[in-house]
Amino acid sequence: MNVLEKSKPVPMLGDEAVAEAVKECDVDVVAAYPITPQTIIVEELAEFVANGEFKGQFIPVESEHSAMSACLGASLTGARVFTATSSQGLALMHEMLYNVSGLRLPVVMAVANRALSAPLVLNADHSDMMGSRDSGWIQLYAENVEEIYDRTIQMFRLSEDARVMLPSALNFEGFILSHDMEAVRPLGGERIRKFVGRPKFERRLDPDRPSTFGAISSPDTYYEFKMQQAEAMKSALGVFKEVEKEFHALSGRKYGTVDAYNTDQADTIVVVNGCSAGTIRAAARVLNRAGDNVGVLAIKMYRPFPTNEVVDHLRDAESIVVMDRSVSLGAPSGPLAEDVKSALACAGLETPVMSLVYGIGGRDFSLEDGKKVFALAKDKGSYGAMPLMYGVKN
Amino acid sequence: MSWKELGEASVVRGGSSVAYVTTGWRVNRPVIDESKCTNCLICWVFCPEPAIVRHEKGKVTIDYDHCKGCGICEIECPLKAIKMVREP
């Protein structure tokens, strides 16, 4: 009997689910700065510390740049480290993101995705994380609150695995998920701590063995360090499957690197990441009941990109729409669409792919919108050289 | 070195700069006129590298393995005992 049958669902906000999971993961140091819509995570963790429920050290810092710097230093001592941010905060961390991944530190971060200024907006899109897409962080996208809880726990295992040793970021849309209350079936502290374990790190800061970390390299060596990170990303795909398998045995819950709905039969497949996967899946079910034959592929793991799984699921589709909740201004496709197109091209597939931008700055994406996306997929005129800006007011 | 042999994250034990010779960085090298030098060590104060050393008899000398040829010592020497000379 697994815990699923025993544990009583508890209502949690997306942000609360992160804090609850971190509390149970035997985290040593949290260094974070509050920013909407991530603030609840930091508030909750500070409260847990004040109440003596969480033994980790909470470092209040003066900015996100300092937050990630403190995480870097703490992680170098071998501590288990967590932080959370959003939007401008992630942008301010940008420099340190590369330092953390280059130093191969398994820092875990939650990102309540929010669009970037200007103009100022508090609502969701993925442009914050997409701006740091190439920073060498493992990037996951969640679509519901229980998944946020589960992924937070899994990331410690994934990042700290000796074959990986890369930082990871969990993305979930601000407000839509961060402030959404859903039922979570908690797994219990002891069970979680046993699952995450306590791997021993090498390369620690040690006063008895003074060392320089990330010492200057040269054109003769820098490239090789990047190759090591690329290889670690590659092995993260395999390790992630092991972690998921073990987590499934513990909880009965599994998400995969991708989540496929009817992709083996569908003539039209929509590819999407984040919470709109649920919306578009619901739309697909409605259409399929009415006689259509459509499918949905939700990208759960964005870096490393699960290229083989994506190609396998899309191989037989006649047309593909890739939905991006961010826009690379001036680019021929959104970032997710670029990845899908390149994965298909490398596999020798010439399936037409539409790049569709939606939900920018928190613009709502409803069930009706989901149905319209499938209708657009049939319109060959929509497959342009630039992304289709869905839902913009013309 | 292959990426497979290279240690991760460029971690270097403390004190490694001693082994790193910067002779090739110089265009000009400082040369001490020993008839003028009084071993006042003003050059030692201003040298941004530990490239001003005193040999066993206490005489100021230059560590050409680590001098980068910046020329600060020439400017700061109150007795004009140091001249920057073109490297051969």
What average pLDDT does this structure show over A202-212?
85
Crossing angle for the helix pair A64-76 and A87-102, to the nearest 10 degrees? 30
Q: Write the residue in B6, B10, B14 that is nearest to A210 by C-beta.
A: B14
Give the other-Cβ count within 10 Å of A169's Cβ: 26
Residues 6+ apart with CB under 8 A from A379: none
What average pLDDT does this structure show over A290-302?
98
What average pLDDT does this structure show over B23-42?
96
Residue of A120, A119, A116 lying closest to A86 (CA atoms) = A116
Whole-number pLDDT of residue A5 = 53
Angstrom distance (rounded) from CA A208 to CA A211: 9
What token pair was written down for A46?
């500070």
Q: What domains appear along chain A, each with residue ranges and CATH number?
A: 3-251 (3.40.50.970), 258-389 (3.40.50.920)
Best mutation target, B8, B17, B22, to test chain A (most A CBs within 10 A): B8
Residue type, A193: R
For a pLDDT cut of 70, what percent of chain A falls above it? 98
The pTM of this model reads 0.91
Q: What does CATH list as the number for B32-88?
A: 3.30.70.20
Angstrom distance (rounded) from CA A310 to CA A259: 10
Candidate from A152-156, A293-297, B49-53 with smallest mean pLDDT = B49-53
Domain ranges in chain B are 32-88
What average pLDDT does this structure show over A63-77?
97
| A7 has pLDDT over 80 | no
Contact A225 B10 (CB under 8 A): yes
Give the 3-state secondary structure of residue A225: helix
| B16 has pLDDT over 90 | no
Candidate from A6-10, A194-198, A233-237, A387-391 with smallest mean pLDDT = A6-10
Pairing of strands A319-324, A268-272: parallel
Whole-number pLDDT of residue A264 = 96
Candidate from A53-67, A287-301, B47-61, B72-86 with smallest mean pLDDT = B47-61
Angstrom distance (rounded) from CA A360 to CA A391: 9
| A2 has pLDDT over 50 | no
Pairing of strands A353-357, A319-324: parallel
Whole-number pLDDT of residue B17 = 84
Give the 3-state secondary structure of residue A46: helix
Angstrom distance (rounded) from CA B32 to CA B34: 6
Q: Write the residue in A210, A212, A224 that is nearest to B3 by C-beta.
A: A224
Residue of A381, A385, A387, A384 lying closest to A329 (CA atoms) = A387
pLDDT tens readout for residues A332-360? 999 999 999 999 999 999 999 999 999 99
Q: What is the largest CA-CA distance in chain B?
A: 55
**Alpha helix (H) ranges present in A298-352?**
307-314, 335-346
| A285 has pLDDT over 60 | yes
Whole-number pLDDT of residue B15 = 85
pLDDT tens readout for residues A220-267? 999 999 999 999 999 999 999 999 999 999 999 999 999 999 999 999
Contact A212 B16 (CB under 8 A): yes
pLDDT tens readout for residues A100-142? 999 999 999 999 999 999 999 999 999 999 999 999 999 999 9
Whole-number pLDDT of residue A337 = 98
Residues of A in Cβ contact (< 8 Å) with B12: 211-212, 215
Is residue B16 less than 8 Å (CB to CB) from chain A?
yes
What average pLDDT does this structure show over A261-276?
98
Angstrom distance (rounded) from CA A116 to CA A111: 13
Mean pLDDT estimate for chain A = 96
Mean pLDDT estimate for chain B = 94
Angstrom distance (rounded) from CA A208 to CA A237: 36
pLDDT tens readout for residues B33-80? 999 999 999 999 999 998 999 988 889 999 999 999 999 999 999 999
Contact B8 A214 (CB under 8 A): no
A55/A203: higher pLDDT: A55
